């Protein structure tokens, strides 16, 4: 690579870990930090072929970096690793780039953008869609909020793991777009779950039903990828119910702030709460089907 950069990755979860791998294999000089030392050690053990540096804090990770990327859990986690006493912004140099992939509130994304402006740091809020599979394959879609020049500065690194990078608006707009994305997913998976249970109760051949409905107006990613696994009661993959409830909570809060009612999102959020009560909080969102009685199909 002719334009390799010093890139620091903060967060090595199911999304951040594969992203870090793609960055290193694209030829960038990578520093990694995780709040869980075991996760960091596991990542290093899984990638013995990669030359990387480890950091003991976000501040250490950011020192000297051309670009810092975060992918953590929620607003509080992000505030800690970015704005805290040992946060990345305590050492990040002027004219460097900061990109956040965490799904958080638009409020904290805007707050971080203000702090970045004062430090003369290019800032992008860039939540993702494409699931863990997209992270592993380097085919994510990024919904980016911030200034156009910040996004263009980040693009050479982002392109290592994202096939689509869309500038949707000013600071915080990426997070608002992700909320819209999650609303669509929640509605789609709820519809697929009910359709599956109806087909089962009517004693239909599920493969034939899928063949008939998957190429018309009912087609969706959820139908294509979760119809068969839901029919098999397989939920040990993908995006967890707990995380979807967090994301829908962000969307519902944002809607209230905008004076907007989101009744379908509120209803599906409660359906996911039912799945949590069944012990399915860490299962894939397609576990939503568990709350519907299974009748008639053998």
Cα–Cα nearest to 80, from 101, 99, 58: 58
At 132, is the secondary structure helix, strand, or coil?
Answer: helix
Pairing outcome for strands 52-54 and 67-70? unpaired
DSSP annotation of 92 reads P
Number of H helices, E strands in the chain: 12, 9
Cα–Cα nearest to 19, from 74, 101, 82: 101
Distance set, CA 192 to CA 16, 134, 222 (Å): 29, 21, 7
Identify the active-site residue in 5, 178, 246, 295. Answer: 178
65: number of Cβ within 10 Å: 24
Cα–Cα nearest to 185, from 286, 48, 99: 286
Distance set, CA 225 to CA 141, 220, 283, 286 (Å): 17, 9, 15, 10
The answer to whether 178 is a known catalytic residue is: yes
Cα–Cα nearest to 251, from 164, 188, 185: 185
The token pair at 124 is: 């992008």
Q: With residue 274 as reference, give the H or E element that holds it.
A: helix 263-277
Q: Please tell me the distance from the alpha carbon of residue 154 to that of residue 152, in angstroms, as a whole number.
A: 5
Q: Which residues belong to the active site?
A: 178
């Amino acid at each position: 690579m002719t334009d390799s950069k010093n890139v620091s990755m903060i967060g090595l979860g199911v999304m951040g870990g594969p992203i870090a791998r793609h960055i290193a294999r694209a030829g960038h000089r990578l520093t990694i930090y995780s709040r869980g030392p075991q996760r960091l050690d596991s990542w290093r053990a899984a990638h013995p072929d990669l030359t990387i540096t480890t950091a003991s804090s976000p501040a250490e990770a950011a020192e000297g970096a051309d670009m810092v990327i975060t992918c953590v859990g929620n607003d509080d986690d992000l505030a800690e690793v970015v704005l805290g006493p040992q946060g990345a912004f305590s050492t990040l140099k002027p004219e460097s780039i900061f990109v956040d992939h965490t799904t958080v509130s638009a409020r904290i994304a805007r707050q971080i953008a203000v702090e970045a402006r004062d430090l003369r740091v290019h800032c992008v809020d860039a939540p993702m869609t494409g699931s863990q599979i997209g992270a592993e394959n380097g085919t994510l879609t990024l919904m980016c909020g911030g200034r156009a020049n910040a996004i263009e500065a980040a693009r050479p690194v982002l392109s290592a793991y994202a096939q689509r990078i869309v500038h949707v608006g000013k600071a915080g707009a990426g997070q608002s777009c992700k909320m819209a994305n999650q609303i669509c997913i929640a509605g789609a998976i709820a519809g697929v779950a009910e359709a599956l249970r109806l087909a089962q109760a009517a004693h239909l051949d599920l493969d034939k039903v899928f063949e008939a409905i998957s190429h018309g107006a009912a087609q969706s990613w959820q139908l294509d990828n979760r119809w068969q696994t839901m029919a098999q009661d397989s939920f040990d993959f993908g995006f967890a119910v707990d995380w979807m409830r967090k994301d829908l909570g962000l969307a519902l809060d944002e809607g209230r702030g905008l004076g907007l009612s989101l009744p379908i999102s509120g209803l599906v959020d409660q359906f996911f709460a039912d799945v949590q009560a069944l012990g399915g909080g860490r299962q894939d969102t397609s576990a939503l089907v568990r709350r519907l009685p299974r009748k008639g199909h053998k």
